Amino acid sequence: DADVTQTPRNRITKTGKRIMLECSQTKGHDRMYWYRQDPGLGLQLIYYSFDVKDINKGEISDGYSVSRQAQAKFSLSLESAIPNQTALYFCATSDSNTGELFFGEGSRLTVL
Amino acid sequence: GENVEQHPSTLSVQEGDSAVIKCTYSDSASNYFPWYKQELGKGPQLIIDIRSNVGEKKDQRIAVTLNKTAKHFSLHITETQPEDSAVYFCACGGGADGLTFGKGTHLIIQP
């Protein structure tokens, strides 16, 4: 089983719908992240959390919200999806000692 | 905030030749410089990293060099093989808000 699991892996939705992407991890890391990947733009940080009570905005947080339900779970929500939120979304955890990021396999979201 | 520039965006080399990907960064406080490899349909995975107290690190066919004065670091892959074909990302950070990534390099190994 993967250490960082994202669901769903693929989702097609319509403009205005609410969408939740879920992430769970078995690595025991306190730090969790949501990134967005667009072709040619690399990985952009949406939100990050250093523990259950800590939530921080990244560079592109507008239009997104997150919830850290437990140490192992970090979900990303789009309250009212729009087409330019069509992208590949990655959840990641990090080892606070080394800084290494461990990524899930991604959730591909298409907003029509 | 940190700004990371990565070049080239696409690199095509013959199998067996070397490949070099370069990154520059802006924040002199950055002290951790990892490289990630992303294969098709998968999430990025760490392949090598270097910290600011070291100028070079090598792991079999891959190596990373760091020039803190010039604020640039590079990934070197020697004796390239078909399985090296992927997208490679540089990143830097070391502060409280995680890593900033470059835009990626699509490495193509020609048979």
Q: In this complex, do B6 and A42 lie within 8 Å of one another by their Cβ atoms?
A: yes
* C-alpha distances out from residue A39 to A73, A87, A101, B79, B87, Å: 27, 9, 20, 28, 11
Write the CA distances from B7 to A93, B15, B63, integer angstroms.
Answer: 27, 20, 17
Q: Take residue B29 and report the two structure tokens written for it.
A: 């406080």
Give the pLDDT confidence of B50-99 residue by residue, as tens digits: 998 889 999 999 999 999 999 999 999 999 999 999 999 999 987 666 78
- Does A104 score more than 90 pLDDT? yes
Beta-sheet pairing, A73-78 with A19-25: antiparallel
Instruction: Tell me the torsion sign for CA atoms A36, B41, A70, B91.
Output: negative
pLDDT (tens digit per residue) in B5-35: 999 999 999 999 999 999 999 988 899 999 9
Contacts of A92 in chain B (CB under 8 A): 43
Q: Tell me what pLDDT residue B45 has.
A: 95
B69 CB-near residues (< 8 Å, 6+ apart): none
- How confident is the model over A45-71, as a mean pLDDT? 95
pLDDT value for B36? 97
Give the C-alpha separation, B40 to B111, whole Å: 19
A58: chain B residues, CB-CB within 8 Å: 97-98
For B:9-68, CB contacts with A below 8 A are: 9, 32, 34, 36, 41-46, 49
- Which residues are CB-contacts of B74 (< 8 A; sequence separation ≥ 6)? B20, B21, B22, B23, B64, B65
Which pLDDT score, from 0 to 100, does residue A30 have? 92
